[in-house]
């Protein structure tokens, strides 16, 4: 405490007093974790210039719900509300409109829809739900058409859309949902559309259907109850012989006191033509099984939200990647998981035992009886195999579950959508990259290296306002991913390697798309792997190894010397604020003062910045040191000097470029403190604390009559609060939501951040 700050008058001990309070309250800096699971290493808020996204929108249009990439990858077709657009995405930058066609629901359907008590403002429109490439010259599209689904072919000319002829619009029941809020899925295979959706106005009759093409139209039989009335389809994935459907429904095979959701995979054979006598125009090869995505010791992630197939080159097996959330909330937040299912596992379960319903006990048990030949539900069942068809009417649920491998489990986040690709790293290894859309409109880029669990390279808030990500479309040729939402379409480049300014940062990021170019000394997008002079370490993320200069094996700490020293001049009566950008959420940051620790009595760390109270011997080197993945490096280095007594620069620092910088100051002077507006947060903390401490002290001191005298003397001695400070304080109290109860010290920091953005 023994400080002799030059130029501080006697009453300025209060500056020091505040300072100690700051120190008490603010250190250690509180970090807001978003719960267990990997943290995104870097987080970008909407509009962050470091992750500039291109945005397409069109006046008068909304709900850009459906995306389709053209075969050549240069056109993005977009299904919006009552319109379909063709966007040119060939050129870098903002997607350009090629042309658009309107496809509104008819006035008659709109008025009928309004009569049925649906909103003519939000629901009675044609929301495009299906958009597939039918052949070289035609797209096929379906929409909700004001709660009366309709479909049509759309001609293409030079990847421009030709207008829709009204007489070419056909009924689309079973292909598009009635209600835009209902889930659906559709995939075109061999000229036939396999769709899973709700088949009625009320949304109580799910259906799996095959239409188009030369084969007969096939449906699930509602009466047989192969699907629970609330079945909700999220994906359809074709394989060689079968088409898989992924959905969620209430499980009837478990005795449970509450409505238990379960995730399913169902499959139908492509060669199914329906039964001859039995099951006419109905699927004869429908089977379903439970999908399990769980982590040991946790409630299962039982609600599937989306699934995609990543085709694999032989010899590895193609895998389906799916995002799940849980029906249950723990601590008010939902958790999500990504699980991988191998197609071999799925096939094996469909070849296994069946479950059957015991009609007397209403319980599902394993079927242990004889199996007929051909095996019921298999693709070799013919239309006249009556025995097999009779059997499969009641034996459509498989006994075994398909168990997935959890690749990523994250609480506090609800993943709604995913896209998957592989990226080849410098080492020639293939790395799995998952783009995960959340319920609040952000995108997580997750990477799997080897067999370890996934890590999150970054989180980008794409949508300006929170809104679930409903679609993601990768465009590999453009190196970008597209996401449509209520207001338009965002184009998100796979990576912006330039944000990693040093080799250390570039390597620590472990982004398979980025590598450090030793020649240009920049972190660059990896376009042509095998570049010897580029550096990357996907396996370990170890910059010590990857960024070492010269021949490998020289144990040289690459970045322990700062690259640049920022020179700062001490200003009397002012608290110096030395900022330190916290780029990585995975790093821990600390400040060092030359070889010693920072002087604790005259400094504090607030929001990552080092606050320094000037005093004798304050000068010297201050470094903000990050430690990540076991590697420490200086993020920023300051040389603090005073005009009166310039300090000789450490000879060890010779040769390092220097730059004179201005840092934020908080003035401490006279009987009052003049805080600059942007330093309200610090200032307010001080004020709140002072009020707290003074009232606390008052209570204690007033308890003893002797102390009361002394207390009065002290409080009067160094003045009361300046009047200007009261307004923001009372405003803060006003703004607090009444329900929230803030008690812990760390909350003050949060409050302050909030208030800081309000005031500044």
Ligand X SMILES: *[C@@H]1O[C@H](CO)[C@@H](O)[C@H](O)[C@H]1NC(C)=O
Residues that bind ligand X (CB under 6 A): 49-52, 120-121, 134-138, 153, 493, 496, 498-499, 579, 581, 607-608, 681, 753, 756
CA distance 308 to 301: 17
Q: What's the rounded Cα separation, in Å, for the pair 216 and 240?
A: 19
d(CA 617, CA 299): 57
Cβ distance to ligand X smaller for residue 602 or 607: 607
Smaller CB separation from ligand X, 148 or 439: 148
Q: What is the DSSP code string of 660-702?
A: E----EEE-BTTB----GGGHHHHHHHHHHHHHHHHHHHHHHH
Closer residue to ligand X (CB): 12 or 123: 123
d(CA 303, CA 336): 9
Give the DSSP per-residue string, 155-169.
EEETTEEPPPPGGG-
Nearer to ligand X, 50 or 160 (CB): 50
C-beta of 73 vs 579, nearer to ligand X: 579
Task: State in angstroms the smallest separation of the CB of 19 from ligand X.
Answer: 17
157-164, long-range: CB within 8 Å, 24+ apart, which pairs?
159/70, 159/72, 159/74, 159/75, 159/86, 159/98, 160/86, 160/98, 160/99, 161/77, 161/84, 161/85, 161/86, 161/99, 161/100, 161/101, 162/101, 163/101, 164/101, 164/103
C-beta of 50: minimal distance to ligand X in Å? 4
Smallest distance from ligand X to CB 48, Å: 8
Q: How far is the CB of 150 from ligand X (least distance, A)?
A: 16
CA distance 150 to 82: 12
SS3 label, residue 285: coil
CB of 461 to ligand X, least distance (A): 14
Q: How far is the CB of 155 from ligand X (least distance, A)?
A: 8
Nearest Cα to Cα of residue 260 among 328, 338, 207, 312:
328
Q: By C-beta, is 290 or 442 nearer to ligand X? A: 442
Question: CA-CA distances (angstroms) from residue 334 to 109, 411, 453, 688, 741?
Answer: 39, 6, 20, 35, 22
Q: Which is nearer to ligand X, 324 or 680 (CB)?
A: 680
**Which among 112, 91, 92 is positioned nearest to 201, based on CA atoms?**
112
Least distance to ligand X, CB of residue 190, Å: 13
Whole-angstrom distance, CA of residue 68 vs CA of residue 492: 16
CA 586 – CA 503 distance, rounded (Å): 17
Rg (CA), the chain: 32
Q: Which is nearer to ligand X, 124 or 469 (CB)?
A: 124
**Between 93 and 630, CB nearer to ligand X:** 93
- Which is closer to ligand X, CB of 138 or CB of 228? 138
Based on CB atoms, which residue is closest to ligand X, 175 or 449?
A: 175
Nearest to 439 by CA among 418, 408, 409: 418
Kindly report the number of other CB atoms within 10 A of residue 653's CB atom.
15
**Crossing angle for the helix pair 680-703 and 13-26, nearest 10 degrees?**
100
Residues β-bridged to residue 417: 437
| CA 101 to each of CA 27, 85, 161, 330, 491: distance values in angstroms, whole numbers, following the listed order | 59, 6, 7, 46, 22
φ/ψ of residue 629, rounded to 5 = 55, 35
Nearer to ligand X among residue 194 and residue 396 (C-beta): 194
Cβ closest to ligand X, residue 51 vs residue 524: 51
As measured in angstroms, the least distance from the Cβ of 607 to ligand X is 4
CB 277 to ligand X: min, Å? 32
Q: Which is nearer to ligand X, 135 or 735 (CB)?
A: 135
CA dihedral sign of residues 521, 524, 526, 528 = negative
Give least dist CB 89 to ligand X, A: 15
Nearest Cα neighbor of 442 from 479, 490, 409 is: 490
CB of 609 to ligand X, least distance (A): 6
Measured CA to CA, the distance from residue 507 to residue 546 in angstroms comes to: 7
Least distance from ligand X to the Cβ atom of residue 664, Å: 9
10 Å CB burial of residue 600 (0-12, 13-18, 19+) is exposed
Rounded least distance, CB 514 to ligand X, Å:
11
Type and span of the H or E element at 729: helix 726-735
Kindly state the helix (H) or strand (E) to which residue 266 belongs, with its residue range. strand 261-269
Long-range CB pairs of 211-216 (<8 Å, 24+ gap) are 211/174, 211/175, 212/134, 212/140, 212/188, 215/273, 216/273, 216/274, 216/281
HEC assignment per residue over 384-435: CCHHHHHHHHHCCEEEEEEECEEEEEEECCCEEEEEEEEEECCCCCEEEEEE
Give the HSE-up count for residue 629: Cα atoms under 13 Å, Cβ half-sphere. 18
Cβ partners under 8 Å of residue 203, min gap 6 = 177, 178, 179, 182
Minimal distance in Å, beta carbon 147 to ligand X? Answer: 15
* Nearest CB to ligand X, comparing residues 118 and 417: 118
Nearer to ligand X, 154 or 279 (CB): 154
Q: Are 211 and 175 in contact (CB under 8 A)?
A: yes
Q: Which is nearer to ligand X, 38 or 579 (CB)?
A: 579
The CA distance from 351 to 402, in Å, is 12
Choice between 110 and 615, CB closer to ligand X: 110
Q: At its nearest, how many Å lie between ligand X and the CB of residue 680?
A: 9
The least distance separating ligand X from the CB of residue 44, rounded to whole angstroms, comes to 9
Note whether 462 and 492 are within 8 A (CB): yes
Least separation in angstroms between CB 124 and ligand X? 8
User: Minimum distance between the CB of residue 137 and ligand X, rounded to whole angstroms?
Assistant: 4
């Amino acid at each position: 405490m023994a400080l002799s700050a030059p130029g501080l008058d006697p009453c300025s001990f209060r500056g020091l007093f505040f300072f100690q309070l700051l120190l008490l309250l603010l250190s250690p800096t509180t970090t807001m974790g978003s719960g267990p699971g990997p943290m995104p290493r870097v987080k970008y808020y909407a509009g962050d210039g470091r992750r500039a996204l291109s945005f397409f929108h069109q006046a008068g249009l909304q709900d850009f719900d459906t995306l389709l990439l053209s075969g050549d990858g240069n056109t993005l077709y977009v299904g919006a509300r009552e319109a379909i657009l063709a966007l040119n995405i060939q050129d870098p930058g903002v997607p350009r409109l090629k042309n658009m066609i309107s496809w509104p629901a008819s006035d008659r359907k709109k008025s009928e829809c309004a009569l049925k008590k649906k909103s003519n403002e939000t629901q009675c429109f044609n929301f495009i739900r299906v958009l597939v490439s039918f052949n070289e010259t035609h797209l096929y599209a379906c929409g909700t058409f004001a709660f009366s689904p309709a479909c049509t072919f759309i001609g293409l000319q030079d990847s421009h859309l030709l207008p829709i002829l009204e007489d070419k619009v056909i009924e689309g029941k079973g292909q598009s949902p009635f209600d835009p809020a209902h889930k659906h899925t559709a995939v075109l295979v061999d000229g036939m559309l396999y769709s899973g959706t709700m088949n009625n106005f009320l949304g109580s009759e799910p259906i799996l259907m095959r239409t188009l093409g030369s084969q007969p139209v096939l449906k699930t039989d509602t009466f047989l109850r192969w699907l629970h009335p609330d079945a909700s389809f999220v994906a359809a994935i074709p394989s060689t012989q079968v088409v898989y459907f992924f959905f969620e429904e209430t499980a009837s095979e478990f005795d449970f006191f509450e409505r238990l959701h379960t995730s399913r995979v169902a499959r139908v054979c492509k060669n199914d033509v329906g039964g001859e006598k039995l099951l006419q125009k109905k699927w004869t090869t429908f089977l379903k099984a439970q999908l399990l995505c769980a982590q040991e010791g946790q409630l299962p992630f039982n609600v599937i939200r989306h699934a995609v197939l990543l085709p694999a080159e032989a010899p590895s097996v193609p895998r389906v990647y799916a995002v799940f959330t849980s029906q249950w909330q723990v601590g008010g937040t939902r958790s999500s998981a990504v699980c991988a299912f191998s197609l071999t596992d799925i096939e094996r379960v469909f070849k296994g035992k069946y479950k059957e319903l015991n009609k007397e006990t209403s319980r599902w048990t394993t079927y242990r009886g004889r199996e007929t030949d051909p095996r019921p539900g298999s693709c070799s069942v013919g239309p006249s195999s009556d025995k097999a068809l009779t059997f499969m009417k009641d034996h459509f649920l498989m006994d075994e579950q398909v168990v997935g491998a959890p690749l990523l489990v994250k609480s506090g986040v609800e993943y709604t959508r995913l896209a998957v690709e592989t990226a080849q790293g410098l080492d020639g290894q293939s790395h799995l990259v998952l783009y995960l859309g959340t319920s609040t409109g952000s995108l997580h880029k997750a990477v799997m290296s080897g067999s370890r669990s996934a890590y999150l390279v970054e989180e980008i808030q794409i949508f300006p306002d929170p809104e679930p990500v409903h679609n993601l479309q990768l465009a590999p040729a453009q190196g970008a991913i597209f996401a449509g939402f209520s207001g338009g379409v965002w184009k998100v480049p796979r990576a912006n390697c330039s944000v990693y300014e040093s080799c250390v940062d570039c390597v620590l990021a472990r982004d398979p798309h980025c590598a450090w170019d030793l020649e240009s000394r920049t972190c660059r997008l990896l376009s042509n792997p095998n570049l010897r002079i580029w550096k990357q370490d996907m396996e370990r993320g170890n910059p010590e190894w990857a960024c070492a200069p010269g021949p490998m094996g020289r144990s040289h700490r690459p970045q322990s010397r700062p690259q640049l020293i920022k020179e700062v001049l001490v200003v009397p009566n002012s608290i110096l604020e030395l900022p330190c950008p916290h780029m990585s959420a995975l790093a821990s940051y600390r400040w060092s003062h030359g070889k010693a620790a920072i002087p604790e009595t005259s400094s504090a760390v607030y929001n990552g910045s080092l606050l320094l109270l000037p005093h004798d011997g304050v000068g010297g080197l201050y470094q903000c040191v990050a430690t990540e993945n076991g590697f420490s490096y200086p993020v920023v280095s300051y040389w603090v000097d005073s005009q009166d007594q310039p300090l000789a620069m450490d000879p060890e620092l010779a040769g390092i470029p220097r730059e004179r910088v201005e840092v934020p100051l908080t003035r401490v002077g006279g009987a009052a403190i003049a805080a600059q507006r942007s330093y309200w947060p610090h200032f307010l903390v001080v004020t709140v604390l002072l009020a707290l401490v003074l009232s606390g002290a008052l209570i204690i001191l007033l308890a003893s009559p002797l102390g009361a005298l002394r207390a009065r003397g002290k409080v009067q001695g160094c003045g009361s609060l300046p009047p200007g400070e009261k307004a923001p304080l009372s405003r803060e109290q006003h703004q607090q939501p009444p329900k929230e109860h803030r008690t812990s010290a760390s909350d003050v920091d949060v409050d302050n951040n909030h208030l800081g953005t309000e005031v500044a």
